[in-house]
Structure 1
Amino acid sequence: MQRILVVGISGAGKSTMARSLSSRLAVPYHEMDALYFAGPGWAENERFAAQVTEITRSPAWVFDSFGYPEVRDLLWERADTIVWLDYPRRVIMPRILRRSLRRTLLRESIFNGNRETVAEWFRRDHPAWWAWSQHAARRADIQRRIDDPRFAPLRVFRFTTVHSSATWLSSVVTRRPR
Structure 2
Amino acid sequence: MRSYDQPLQRLPKRVLVAGVSGAGKTTLAGRIAEITGGPHLEIDAIFHGPDWTPRPEFLADLRSFISADVWTTEWQYDAARPLLAERADLLVWLDFPFVRVTLPRVLTRTVRRRLRRMELWNGNFEAPLRTFFTDHDHIVRWAIRTRRKYTELMPHFVNEYPNVAVVRLRSQREVEEWLRRSLVPAVTG
CA contact (8 A) 1:29 1:63 kept: yes
Unpaired segments of 5 or more residues in structure 2?
1-11
RMSD: 1.7
Give the counterpart of 1:79 among 78, 88, 91.
88
Show CA shifts across 1:73-105 (max 9, x none): 111111000011011112110000000011111
- Once superposed, which parts of structure 1, at least 4 consecutive aligned residues long, lie more than 6 Å away? none
- Identity among equivalent pairs (%): 33
Show CA shifts across 1:93-142 (max 9, x none): 00000000111111111112210121542322222111111111332113
1 CA distance for matches of 2:25 and 2:39? 15
2 CA distance for matches of 1:95 and 1:20? 18
2 CA distance for matches of 1:45 and 1:162? 33
Scaled by the length of structure 1, the TM-score of the pair is 0.90
C-alpha change, 1:45 and 1:30, in structure 2 (3 Å) is same
2 CA distance for matches of 1:69 and 1:133? 16
1 CA distance for matches of 2:149 and 2:74? 18
1 CA distance for matches of 2:154 and 2:143? 15
1:132 aligns to what?
144
CA contact (8 A) 1:5 1:82 kept: yes
Unpaired segments of 5 or more residues in structure 1?
none
CA contact (8 A) 1:6 1:63 kept: yes
Scaled by the length of structure 2, the TM-score of the pair is 0.85
2:121 aligns to what?
111
Give the counterpart of 1:64 among 74, 86, 91.
74
Aligned ranges 1:1-178 → 2 under 5 Å: 1-38=12-49, 40-65=50-75, 67-89=76-98, 90-118=100-128, 119-122=130-133, 123-146=135-158, 148=159, 150-171=160-181, 172-173=183-184, 175=187
1 CA distance for matches of 2:110 and 2:163? 36
Number of positions where the alignment pairs a residue of Structure 1 with one of Structure 2: 172
One-letter amino acid matched to 1:159: L
